[in-house]
């Protein structure tokens, strides 16, 4: 229920990936009829031949809660600062706790002309540092390369309009650092659409050119949550919980009657 509720709460969050829960059942026990003669002698010993009348479950436990990294739908925004990844991979950002990773490409321009997340964390390039850009003076191609017009690069206070930028002196500034992991299902969620690598997931590795996801500038990736499916699952979980609750109440009532009868006898 916690996982389903969290998925529904983040259904409109850009780049969100839904969580799913895996349960593990304990071994079942065979139930035999005890009032029958269930022992047969054989030369090498004996065997239990009492008839099996059913199975007794011994319960389940939560085995794992992991994230499903299926691709979300693209939404066009026509905003140069919005970016989406088509394929496996993560943007790398710098936080006070170290390097973190995100699929949320809703970036903006920071106070120092840096490309940052909504929380103000700088987006990293393959050069290892943040990416310094200016509104209307940068484009990102599908390979993640960031190009600027060198003519407007020098003065940080010089504003650029779309009409005056003719891209007559284009240079490559950097390339977005896009990483992937050996086992991304073991990444740890940090909040604010960020993930942290773990020992199980392996360290972040820059994606090789032949496997690199395409960068879509002017698009965002919607959450991979289907609200209808999650609502149906929530109803199923509620009904299963209520059914188990009634079952326990019935067993408790029957046990109470049995004890009262035993005391009276």
Q: Is 47 within a domain?
A: no
Residue among 62, 32, 60, 66 nearest 47 (CA): 32
Total domains in the chain come to 2
Question: What are the φ and ψ backbone dihedral angles of 83, each rounded to 5 degrees?
Answer: -140, 145
Cα 173 from Cα 138, distance rounded (Å): 9
| One domain, residues 241 and 189 | no
- Report the residue count for the chain: 265
Question: Global pTM?
Answer: 0.80
Residue 95 is encoded by which pair of tokens?
């936080």
Q: What is the pLDDT of residues 41-98, one digit of tens each?
A: 667 776 666 777 788 888 888 888 889 999 999 999 989 999 999 999 999 999 999 9
Mean confidence (pLDDT) of the chain = 90
Residue 45 pLDDT: 72
| One domain, residues 114 and 144 | yes
| One domain, residues 167 and 132 | yes
| One domain, residues 179 and 247 | no
| One domain, residues 208 and 264 | no
Cα 51 from Cα 36, distance rounded (Å): 8
Cα 259 from Cα 265, distance rounded (Å): 10
Crossing angle of the two packed helices 227-264 and 2-9, in degrees rounded to 10: 160
Q: What is the pLDDT of residues 156-191, one digit of tens each?
A: 778 888 888 888 889 999 999 999 999 998 999 998
Host H or E run for residue 258: helix 227-264
Q: Is 217 within a domain?
A: yes
Residue 152 is encoded by which pair of tokens?
């407007």
| One domain, residues 188 and 136 | yes
Per the structure, the complete domain to which residue 240 belongs is given by 226-265
| One domain, residues 78 and 169 | yes
| One domain, residues 94 and 217 | yes
Q: Is 179 within a domain?
A: yes
| One domain, residues 163 and 233 | no
| One domain, residues 153 and 212 | yes
Q: Is 165 within a domain?
A: yes
| One domain, residues 198 and 248 | no
Q: Counting Cβ atoms within 10 Å, is residue 102 exposed (0-12), middle (13-18) or buried (19+)? A: buried
| One domain, residues 145 and 264 | no
């Amino acid at each position: 229920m916690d996982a389903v509720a969290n998925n529904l709460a983040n259904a409109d969050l850009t780049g969100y990936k839904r969580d799913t829960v895996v349960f593990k059942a304990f071994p079942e026990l065979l139930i035999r009829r005890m009032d029958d003669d269930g022992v047969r002698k054989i030369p090498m010993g004996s065997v239990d031949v009492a008839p099996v009348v059913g199975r007794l479950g011994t319960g389940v436990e939560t085995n794992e809660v992991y994230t499903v990294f299926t691709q979300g739908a693209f939404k066009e925004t026509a905003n140069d600062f919005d970016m989406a990844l088509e394929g496996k991979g993560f943007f790398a950002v710098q936080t006070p706790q170290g390097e973190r990773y995100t699929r949320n490409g809703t970036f903006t321009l920071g106070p120092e002309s840096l490309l940052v997340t909504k929380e103000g964390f700088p987006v990293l390039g393959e050069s290892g540092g943040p990416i310094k850009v200016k509104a209307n003076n940068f484009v990102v191609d599908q390979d993640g390369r960031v190009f600027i017009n060198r003519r407007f690069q020098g003065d940080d206070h010089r504003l650029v309009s779309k009409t005056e930028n003719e891209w007559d002196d284009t240079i490559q500034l950097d390339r977005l650092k896009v990483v992937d992991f050996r086992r991304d299902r073991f990444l740890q969620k940090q909040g604010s659409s960020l993930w942290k690598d773990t020992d199980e997931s392996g360290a972040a590795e820059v994606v090789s050119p032949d496997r690199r996801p395409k960068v879509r500038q002017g698009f965002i990736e919607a959450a991979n949550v289907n609200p209808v499916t999650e609502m149906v699952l929530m109803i199923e979980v509620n009904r299963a919980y209520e059914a188990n609750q009634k079952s326990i109440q019935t067993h408790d009532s029957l046990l109470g009657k049995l004890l009262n009868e035993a005391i009276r006898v």
